Amino acid sequence: MKLLKACLCESMRLYPPVVWDSKHAVVDDLLPDNTPVRAGDRVTYFPYGMGRMEGLWGKDWFEFRPERWFVDNEEKSCELKRVCPYKYPIFQAGPRVCLGKEMAFVQMTYVVASILRRFEIRPVSQKRPVYVPLLTAHMAGGLNVLVKRRCQSKTETR
């Protein structure tokens, strides 16, 4: 299940469900690069872009590599890294972090494992789908897939 969680994290790094978000500053402040922010200013951040920053993810930022989520960058380590939520703001960070983050991972893991246990899923076309980065992202025209039931053993419970 750790590999599945790493795959989920890597998928959301490259294709975050919320592409951009913003907040309003309550008080005057300075960003880490010393950019001043006045009370009432809107500060917008871009998880889609952040997931593609070489400075955050390395020269292979464009590759789907679930192993980047394991300690020592190796799947065999079996220990998932703790990644700073400000580097990976999929569930936001700090006092605004999503309270449902862990429940979301439980649900995603359960749903994906349940589906993949019972079905093989393959894209209908080899053509890369067009990602539409609106506030909540989707693929233009959806993603058509072929679903085939896997053979089940007699000992498997339903």
What is the per-residue pLDDT for 95?
A: 85
Q: Is 84 among the domain residues?
A: yes
Q: Is 124 among the domain residues?
A: no
- How many separate domains does the chain show? 1
Task: Count other Cβ atoms within 10 Å, centred on residue 68.
Answer: 20
Q: What domain range includes position 86?
A: 2-117
Q: Is 142 among the domain residues?
A: no
Q: Is 69 among the domain residues?
A: yes
Q: CA 58, CA 120: separation in Å to the nearest integer?
A: 32
Residue 155 has pLDDT above 80, yes or no: no
| 39 SS3 class | coil
Q: Does residue 84 have a known ligand-binding role?
A: no
Q: Is 139 among the domain residues?
A: no
Q: Is 153 among the domain residues?
A: no
* HSE-up (13 A, CA, CB side) for residue 114: 7
Question: Which distant-in-sequence residues (6+ apart) come within 8 Å of 90 by Cβ?
Answer: 9, 12, 13, 16, 17, 18, 47
pTM of the full structure: 0.84
Q: Is 150 among the domain residues?
A: no
What is the per-residue pLDDT for 100?
A: 95
Q: Is 157 among the domain residues?
A: no
What is the per-residue pLDDT for 73?
A: 67
